[in-house]
């Protein structure tokens, strides 16, 4: 992926013609896709777990699952945003290069199992996003980039300080070595997490990762950044970046802090954060007029739903029942990728013509762009969690995992928040179909963008009706 980014940068430097850059990037991404397939299916007779850099990174199926997701999202983004880049982006080559570099960082992040490697990968994934956020070069975009940079720097420092506590206590930066050392050192029964050093380390690392996945109380950057960023960047942040953040969070929790006592401790912590994220995200979304800002609060709420599965993973070790939180998290992330991309790519198709990203700017789209409006409405229904969509099945799985793990109260909070979210999701559909359009001019969408949206909607329906297809993929990932 990094080589493809370098290739695009060189071509952009040498040749004046820029319209072929997305296609060069798309063709180049066949290579990382083929390598990922080779590792997944073991076509080269490699060992089941491929380690590198003295065990700092690993190409296991958990990492490869997210590699598939990141490659798919990045390819879809490049294909869908071509017209957007031609109309509204001055630095087209730089935009594509930064997207690919960020994707490379996210892929490294999902494979890392050593603290310094995790930190370097996190910075590699995050810093290009700051430049991408500010690349539209207007007041809102610049403000969004500055906020993302400042808050990201603070959260990065907090994360690193938490890693220092863990290293100081255990004497190792390798995740599997950390859990072994904690077991050797023993726990103090009257101290949270068995040690105040471990407590401070986990809390600070949670704060750093919490910024990445946009959960309460580390979500303050999301609405402003989503509103000010170019819409393709919002799509990349909300799907690929969130998936990478949850991947590294799961790996750290289960490799470094995977003992039964520690699991029960951080299960409670993440259950409370999940409830807060769902409630804050949905309540604040009710009053939003800007559609991208509304989706910003929506992504905070969905981070809470996913975090419900994370909290349930730990509790499942005690209950021993079937609905695994790990499966629920992976299924939800995969389904959320299809769902959110349909809605945001649909918004790109509309704003390419209207330049208006307010909710009221969608008025009458059921008449002006009937197919596009229908696909967007289907995506919104999936975000809400109604059948027969993948969003419905994702919520069924995370709610079931919570109930089977003894977190019934958390499932009740999730159900109430789902009802609250109906107000703003259905309101957008109402505006598209019942409000009078501001213009009678028909909106046409370029074929590549419409194709990607249609494929995303097909994925929503396919995995909503046949969830076992994606669930089996998740089962092979977890093993």
Contacts of 154 (CB under 8 A, 6+ apart): none
The DSSP-derived string for 247-261 is: HHHHHHHHHHS-SHH
d(CA 166, CA 205): 10
Q: Which of 70, 68, 3, 49 is nearest to 244 (CA)?
A: 70
Residue pLDDT, tens place only, 408-420 = 999 999 999 999 9
Please report, for residues 232, 249, 390, 461, the alpha-carbon distance to residue 372 in angstroms, rounded to integers and kept in the order given: 17, 36, 19, 16
d(CA 402, CA 293): 29
The DSSP-derived string for 154-183 is: HHHHHHHHHHHHHHHHHS--BHHHHHHHHH
Residue 363, phi then psi, degrees to nearest 5: -55, 130
**Residue spans of the chain under pLDDT 50:** 315, 317-323
In the structure encoding, which two tokens stand for residue 448, read together?
A: 């590549």
Contacts of 405 (CB under 8 A, 6+ apart): 267, 311, 312, 314, 315, 316, 318, 319, 321, 325
Q: Burial, 49: exposed, middle or buried (Cβ in 10 Å; 0-12, 13-18, 19+)?
A: exposed
d(CA 296, CA 319): 35
The DSSP-derived string for 94-121 is: HHHHHHHHHHHHHHHHHHB-BHHHHHHH
Q: H or E element: which one contains 348?
A: helix 325-354
d(CA 113, CA 57): 6
pTM: 0.90
Give residue 317's pLDDT.
Answer: 44
Widest CA span in the chain:
72
* Number of Cβ atoms within 10 Å of the Cβ of 52: 10
Residue 397, phi then psi, degrees to nearest 5: -70, -45
CB 207 within 8 A of CB 218: yes
Rg (CA), the chain: 22
Helices (H) then strands (E): counts for the chain:
22, 2
Give residue 46's pLDDT.
Answer: 61
Residue 134, phi then psi, degrees to nearest 5: -90, 5
Contacts of 2 (CB under 8 A, 6+ apart): 100, 101, 104
Establish whether the linkage from the previous residue to 38 is cis, with ω within 30° of 0: no
d(CA 185, CA 344): 49
Q: Which of 81, 75, 61 is nearest to 24 (CA)?
A: 75
Residue pLDDT, tens place only, 94-114 = 889 999 999 999 999 999 999
């Amino acid at each position: 992926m990094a080589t493809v980014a370098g290739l695009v940068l060189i071509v952009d430097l040498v040749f004046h013609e820029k319209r072929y850059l997305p296609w060069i990037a798309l063709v180049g991404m066949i290579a990382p896709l083929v390598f990922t397939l080779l590792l997944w299916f073991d076509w080269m007779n490699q060992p089941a777990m491929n380690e590198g850099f003295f065990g700092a990174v690993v190409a296991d199926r958990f990492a490869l699952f997210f590699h598939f997701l990141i490659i798919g999202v990045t390819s879809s983004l490049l294909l869908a945003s071509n017209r957007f880049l031609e109309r509204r982006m001055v630095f087209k080559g730089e935009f594509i290069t930064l997207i690919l570099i960020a994707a490379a960082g996210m892929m490294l992040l999902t494979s890392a199992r050593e603290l310094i490697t995790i930190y370097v990968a996190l910075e590699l994934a995050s810093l290009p996003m700051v430049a991408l956020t500010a690349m539209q070069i207007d007041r809102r975009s610049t403000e969004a980039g500055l906020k993302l940079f400042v808050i990201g720097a603070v959260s990065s420092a907090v994360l690193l300080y938490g890693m220092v506590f863990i290293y100081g206590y255990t004497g190792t930066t390798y995740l599997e070595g950390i859990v072994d050392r904690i077991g050797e050192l023993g726990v103090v029964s009257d101290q949270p997490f068995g040690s105040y050093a471990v407590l401070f380390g986990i809390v600070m690392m949670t704060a750093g990762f919490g910024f990445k996945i946009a959960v309460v109380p580390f979500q303050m950057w999301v609405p402003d950044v989503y509103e000010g960023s170019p819409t393709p960047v919002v799509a990349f942040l909300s799907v690929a970046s969130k998936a990478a953040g949850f991947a590294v969070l799961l790996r750290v929790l289960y490799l470094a802090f995977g003992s039964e006592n520690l699991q029960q401790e951080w299960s409670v912590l993440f259950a409370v954060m999940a409830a807060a994220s769902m409630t804050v995200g949905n309540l604040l979304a009710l009053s939003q007029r800007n559609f991208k800002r509304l989706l910003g609060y929506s992504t905070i709420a969905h981070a809470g739903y996913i975090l419900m599965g994370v909290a349930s993973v730990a509790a499942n070790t005690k209950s021993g029942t079937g609905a695994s939180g790990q499966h629920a998290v992976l299924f939800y992330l995969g389904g959320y990728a299809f769902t959110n991309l349909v809605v945001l790519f649909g918004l790109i198709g509309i704003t390419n013509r209207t330049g208006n990203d307010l909710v009221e700017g969608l008025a009458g789209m059921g008449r002006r762009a009937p197919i596009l409006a229908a696909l967007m409405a289907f995506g919104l229904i999936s975000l809400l969690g109604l059948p027969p969509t993948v969003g419905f099945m994702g919520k069924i799985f995370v709610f079931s995992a919570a109930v089977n793990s003894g977190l019934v109260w958390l499932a009740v909070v999730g159900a109430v928040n789902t009802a609250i979210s109906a107000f703003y999701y259905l309101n957008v559909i109402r505006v598209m179909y019942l409000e009078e359009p501001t213009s009678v001019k028909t909106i046409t969408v370029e074929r590549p963008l419409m194709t990607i949206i249609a494929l995303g909607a097909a994925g929503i329906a396919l995995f909503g009706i046949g969830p076992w297809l994606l669930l089996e993929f998740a089962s092979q990932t977890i093993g």
